[in-house]
């Protein structure tokens, strides 16, 4: 919530190295960081944004990563 407060009071933050980011991602950020609440995208709209839908993989792809993280946590204990 503090991020939204800062955006509302000071405007959108400057994005460093914009030229290294994809057009889809920049548009996604613009939709997230819109100061005007009436123009800002909802979470449902953002989940349908091309930045999310074109790159989304099934959640099952996270299983190996979760297992490795669990194993590493056990080793550190």
pLDDT tens track, the chain, 77 positions? 677 787 778 888 888 899 999 999 999 999 998 888 899 999 999 999 999 888 767 778 788 899 999 999 999 88
Give the pTM.
Answer: 0.62
Domain boundaries, the chain: 2-76
CA distances from 15 to 6, 22, 61, 64 (A): 15, 12, 30, 33
């Amino acid at each position: 919530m503090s991020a939204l407060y800062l955006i509302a009071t000071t405007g959108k933050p400057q994005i460093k190295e914009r030229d290294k980011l994809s057009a889809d991602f920049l548009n996604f950020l613009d939709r997230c960081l819109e100061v005007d609440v009436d123009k800002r995208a909802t979470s449902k709209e953002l989940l349908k944004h091309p930045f999310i839908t074109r790159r989304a993989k099934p959640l099952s792809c996270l299983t190996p990563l979760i297992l490795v993280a669990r194993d590493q946590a056990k080793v550190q204990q």
